[in-house]
Amino acid sequence: MVQHGESLTLGDYTFQFIHTPGLHWPDNMVTWLASENILFSNDLFGQYLAEEPPVNAGYSKEAILKGAEPYFERVFAPASESDKAIIADIAAMPIQTVATGHGLIL
pLDDT tens string 70-89: 988 988 888 899 888 999 99
Question: Tens digits of per-residue pLDDT, 18-29?
Answer: 999 988 888 889
Question: Tens digits of per-residue pLDDT, 93-104?
Answer: 999 999 988 888
Structural domain includes residue 100: yes
Q: What is the mean pLDDT of the chain?
A: 90
Task: Give the side-chain half-sphere CA count within 13 A for 83.
Answer: 17
Structural domain includes residue 60: no
Structural domain includes residue 86: no
Is residue 51's pLDDT more than 80?
no
Structural domain includes residue 84: no
CB distance 106 to 56 below 8 Å: yes
Structural domain includes residue 71: no
Q: How many domains does the chain have?
A: 1
Q: DSSP character for 42? A: E
Structural domain includes residue 98: yes
Domain around 105: 14-23+30-41+92-106
Q: How confident is the model at residue 53, as a pLDDT?
A: 76
- CB atoms near residue 61 (< 10 Å): 8
